[in-house]
Amino acid sequence: MPQSANTPSTPPASPAAPVPRPPAGPLPEAVHRTVEVPGGRIHLVEQGSGPLVLMVHGFPESWYSWRHQLPALAAAGYRAVAIDVRGYGRSSKPRDVAAYRMLAHVADNVAVVRALGEETAIIVGHDWGSPIAANTALLRPDVFTAVALLSVPYAPRGGIRPTEAFARLGGGGEFYINYFQEPGRAEAEIEPGVRDWIAGFYVVASGDAKQDAARPGSAQDHVAHFSVAPGGKLSDRFPEKLPLPLPWLAEADLDFYAGEFERTGLTGGLNRYRNVDRDWEDLAAWDGAPLRQPSLFIGGEHDAPTNWMADAIKAFPHTLPGLSASHILDGCGHWVQQERPEEVNRLLTDWLGSLPGTAA
């Protein structure tokens, strides 16, 4: 693709330096590294050899959200790499809110591929990682040959400023993405009790949240579940008693996530939300652009973004002309690859094996 003022250029390759494994780190066969990127450094975890598959997590997660996919993809003959997105874990955490714009994440992903000595990669994203992956493939099809999106369907840049569109949502309250816009506001809610807040957020968005056993399935219901009442907090929506551990989230898993955010804070992750309007301006040249590479979508029956973006899924024939398949997993919530690891691993490896020139 020809470069433009808004398209990240490819940075020079830099060596991928091994770094010490985090204390009591999982996945003993995996290798932890940091690589240089335009904005500083990206921490990554890799396992296996073969065609490169780059995995990008969402909020509030880390590379650890791909703990089930790393060994599975490695065993299937792929070089599986999961990053800590900038602002998370052991990756750089710029202070400037604008440093978390979409173009910066695209540049990070390109730099990771180059630093690992590769020319091309397949990219997989979940939650915020899904639009990061989609835009990375959109802007740099020369590097990213295929894209898999989990939970959040691809929706091209449209004609309405995002915060204006989100202001129309909320079910009588303030939609959580707008609630996250003001620096410091969500941090004041979360950081006094990081572990409890993260646990509540994971539970309320999961498919097996007990308070949602009879949850209605309309998009409006899912939107309302993530709105903030006037003068309230997002955590007011969390159940009073959390049904932990969940089948997919052990206490040790929660400890790992909480430990990362207790060390780093939540600002880096929240700053991604604070760039939605900036992204809309940056990506004006790609308004309505389809994503043409081979693609895959996996969502959950009870996944809020999958439900409230149902129209985006219906538009896939136009927006994802290279779509191989779209799967909605029965009973699954938002944390797709963690809640249903075996099913997601099978869908991913089957899809990867079908891609021209990338079969392991």
- pLDDT computed for residue 39 by the predictor: 85
% of the chain with per-residue pLDDT over 70: 87
Average pLDDT score over residue span 72-85: 98
H-helix segments, the chain: 69-75, 102-115, 129-139, 162-167, 176-179, 185-190, 194-205, 219-224, 251-264, 267-273, 276-282, 304-308, 310-314, 316-319, 336-339, 341-354
| DSSP structure class, residue 10 | P
- Give the architecture-level CATH label for domain 17-159+279-354: 3-Layer(aba) Sandwich (3.40)
Q: Report which of residues 220 and 3 the model is more confident about.
A: 220
Q: Residue 29 — very low, low, confident or very high, per pLDDT cuts 50/70/90?
A: confident
Average pLDDT score over residue span 349-357: 94
* Ranges of each domain in the chain: 17-159+279-354, 162-270
Q: Residue 311 — very low, low, confident or very high, per pLDDT cuts 50/70/90?
A: very high
% of the chain with per-residue pLDDT over 90: 78
Q: Residue 265 — very low, low, confident or very high, per pLDDT cuts 50/70/90?
A: very high
CB 53 within 8 A of CB 76: no
| DSSP structure class, residue 8 | P
Average pLDDT score over residue span 227-234: 91
235-258 pLDDT, tens digit per residue, is 998 988 888 899 999 999 999 999
Q: Which helix (H) or strand (E) holds 243?
A: none
CB 54 within 8 A of CB 124: yes
Q: Residue 263 — very low, low, confident or very high, per pLDDT cuts 50/70/90?
A: very high
Whether 287 is catalytic is no
Among the ranges given (5-9, 214-218, 256-260, 315-319), the one the predictor scored with the smallest mean pLDDT = 5-9
- pLDDT computed for residue 211 by the predictor: 41
The two tokens of residue 213 are 């056993």
Average pLDDT score over residue span 255-266: 96
Residue in this structure with the two tokens 């995002």, named with its chain if needed = 162
Average pLDDT in the chain: 89
Sheet with 295-300: strands ordered across: 17-18, 31-37, 40-47, 79-83, 52-56, 121-126, 144-150, 295-300, 323-329
- pLDDT computed for residue 48 by the predictor: 97
Reduced to 3 states, what is the DSSP secondary structure of residue 298?
strand
- pLDDT computed for residue 204 by the predictor: 92
Whether 311 is catalytic is no
- pLDDT computed for residue 224 by the predictor: 66
- pLDDT computed for residue 212 by the predictor: 45
- pLDDT computed for residue 28 by the predictor: 83
pLDDT at 334 over 80: yes
Q: Residue 187 — very low, low, confident or very high, per pLDDT cuts 50/70/90?
A: very high
314-324 pLDDT, tens digit per residue, is 999 999 999 99
Q: Report which of residues 6 and 308 the model is more confident about.
A: 308
pLDDT at 347 over 70: yes
- pLDDT computed for residue 171 by the predictor: 66
- pLDDT computed for residue 13 by the predictor: 37
Active-site hit among 84, 108, 127, 282: 127
- pLDDT computed for residue 216 by the predictor: 45
pLDDT at 16 over 70: no
Average pLDDT score over residue span 258-279: 97
Q: Residue 20 — very low, low, confident or very high, per pLDDT cuts 50/70/90?
A: very low
Average pLDDT score over residue span 166-193: 90
30-44 pLDDT, tens digit per residue, is 999 999 998 899 999
